[in-house]
Amino acid sequence: MPLDAEALLRDLAPQLLGVVIRRYRDFAAAEDAVQEALIAAAVQWPREGLPDHPKAWLIQVASRRMTDHIRRESARRLRESAVAIDLLEHESERDDTLILLFMCCHSALTPSSAIALTLRAVGGLTTAEIASAFLVPEATMAQRISRAKSTIKASGVPFSLPTEQERADRLRAVLHVLYLIFNEGYTSSGGPQLQRCELSTEAIRLTRAVHKLLPDDGEVAGLLALMLLTDARRVARTGPRGELIPLTQQDRTLWDQKQIAEGVALLSETLSKGSIGAYQLQAAIAAVHDEAPRAEDTDWPQILALYDLLKRMSDNPMVLLNHAIAVAMVHGPSAGLDLLNTLDADGRLAGHHRLDAVRAHLLELSGNHQAAIEHYRIAAGLTTNIPERDYLLTQAARLREHNNV
C-alpha cells in the first residue's frame, strides 16, 4: 500500500473507532469492526483506488460489520445499526477523535485504567508501549486494559458525550493521555526510529482542540506549550542516517522558531493568570532550553529552581531523574550521582535504561570513565529503541578508545 494511504488509515482509525463506539456503545465489538474495515481498505484500496470519501467508506464497512454482529446478538441492536447507517453522511464530516478521547476516560474506570485504555484506542499504542510508559510489565498492562473493557461493560453506563461536569472530571486523565502519546512519538519506546512523528503530531492536534474547547484552562495551555517547545527541536534530534543527536550537540538553527514563539506566547499568557501546574512548569523548563542560543548558555540554575517546584507537585520518578541532572549541572556531577542513589532505593526506575544512561553521563563528567562505560553498556542493553541503543554503545566505545580501556 502506498505510504500516503497507510498514513491516511492511521489517521482515520481513532476517528472511525469514535464514530462506531458512539453509535453502538460496544467497545469490544466496535474494535473488531474497525479492524475489519481497516483490513478491507488495506486490501481493496491499492487494487481499486482511493475512494472519494475514505472516512465514509470506512464507516460504512465498519457499520456493516456491526450490523452482522448485532443481528447475531439481538433484534434491538439491529434497530440502532439502521439509525447509524442513515447518519453516515453526517458522521463522515466529523472528527470524533477528541470525543473518543473524553469517552474513553470513562467514569466507571480508575484514572490509570482509563488512561491505558485511551492510549490503546486513541493513540494506537501497543500494550508493550503503554506498559513502558507506565513502567510496568507488559502482562500487567494487558490485564489492566482487559479489566477496563470488562468494567465498562459490567457498569451498564454507556459511552456517550460527557456533560460539562464530566468533562471537567475527566480532563486530568485526558491531558495525561495526550502527554504520553506525545512522549511516545517524540522518543519511541522501541523500534528502528528514534521518533514516531505521526503520534507527536496527532497529540499536538488534539491538544489544540482541547485548548480551543477550554481556552482559559492553564494546564491545557501549559501542555500545548510544552509540546510545541519540545517538538520544535524535532528536526535537529536526528542525523542523516537517523542517528540520535543529543541536545547539547544539536544545530539550533534547525529548531522551529515559529513553534518556539507560539509556545512561549502560550506559556507567558497562562503563567500570568495565577495558578501554576505541572505542565506549565515543564513548559517553562523547555522554554529555558529553547531560548539558549548555545548549549553552554543554558540557564541551569533557573532550570533547577523550576524542577525544585515541579518535584513538590509530582512524585513522578522521571521528574526526580531530570531534577538530578539539573542538580549535577549546577552543583557538580557528584551531587547528581548522590540523588541517583536515592532513585535506586525508590525502585520504580529499576530496569529502565534512562537511569543507567544518566548515571553513565554523570560518571563520565566526574572522570570515572571505566564505570561510565559499564553503565552506557547496561543502558544500551535495556532500551529497545535502536537509535538510542546505538548512541549509548557509541558513547561507551568512544570512552574506551579514548582511555585505551
Give the per-residue pLDDT at 110. 78
- Within 158-256, residue ranges assigned H as helices are 164-186, 197-213, 218-231
E-assigned strand segments in 281-397? 384-385
The reported pLDDT for the residue numbered 363 is 97
Q: 566526574: which residue's cell?
A: 366
* Residue 241 burial class via C-beta count within 10 angstroms: exposed 0-12, middle 13-18, buried 19 and up: exposed
pLDDT 10s digit of each residue in the chain, 405 long?
Answer: 555 667 777 788 888 888 888 787 777 788 888 888 888 888 888 888 888 888 888 888 888 888 887 777 655 444 444 444 343 344 444 456 777 777 777 777 877 788 788 788 777 788 888 888 777 888 988 888 888 888 877 777 666 667 778 778 888 888 988 998 899 889 988 889 999 888 898 889 889 988 988 898 999 999 999 999 999 999 999 999 999 999 999 999 999 999 999 999 999 999 887 778 999 999 999 999 999 999 999 999 999 999 999 999 988 899 999 999 999 999 999 999 999 998 988 888 888 999 999 999 999 999 999 999 999 999 999 999 999 999 999 999 999 988 765
Amino acid at 302: Q
Q: Give the dihedral sign, CA 325/304/274/212.
A: negative
By CB neighbour count within 10 A (0-12 exposed, 13-18 middle, 19+ buried), where does 355 fall?
A: buried
How far are the Cα atoms of 102, 244, 255, 298 from residue 164, in angstroms, in the given order? 11, 43, 38, 42
Please tell me the predicted confidence (pLDDT) of residue 388: 96
Please report which helix (H) or strand (E) contains residue 196, including its range.
none
How many CB atoms within 10 Å of residue 387? Answer: 23
Residue 89 neighbours by CB distance under 10 Å: 10
Q: Work out the number of other CB atoms within 10 angstroms of the CB of residue 30.
A: 25
What three-state secondary structure class fits 20? helix
Asked if 84 and 23 count as a contact pair (C-beta separation under 8 A), the reply is: yes
Cell of 287: 522554554
> Which of 180, 49, 79 is closest to 123 using CA atoms?
180
pLDDT of residue 121: 79
Q: Provide the whole-model pTM.
A: 0.77
- CA distances to 17, 177, 212, 339 from 118, in Å: 11, 7, 21, 34
Cell numbers representing residue 138 in the block: 507488559
Please answer whether residues 328 and 366 qualify as being in contact, where contact means their C-beta atoms are separated by less than 8 angstroms.
no
CATH placement of domain 299-405: 1.25.40.10
**Which grid coordinates belong to 275?**
495558578
Taking the C-alpha atoms of residue 335 and residue 211, their distance in angstroms, rounded to an integer, is 39
- Give me the residue label for grid cell 557509541: 394
**Contact partners, residue 372, CB within 8 Å, separation at least 6:** 360, 361, 363, 364, 396, 399
**How many angstroms separate the CA atoms of 41 and 44, rounded?**
5
Q: What is the pLDDT of residue 80?
A: 42
Q: For residue 103, give the 3-state DSSP assignment.
A: helix
C-alpha cell at 320: 526526580
pLDDT at 372: 96
Rg of the chain over Cα atoms, rounded to whole angstroms, equals 23
Q: For residue 208, what pLDDT is reported?
A: 92
Domain ranges in the chain are 1-95, 299-405
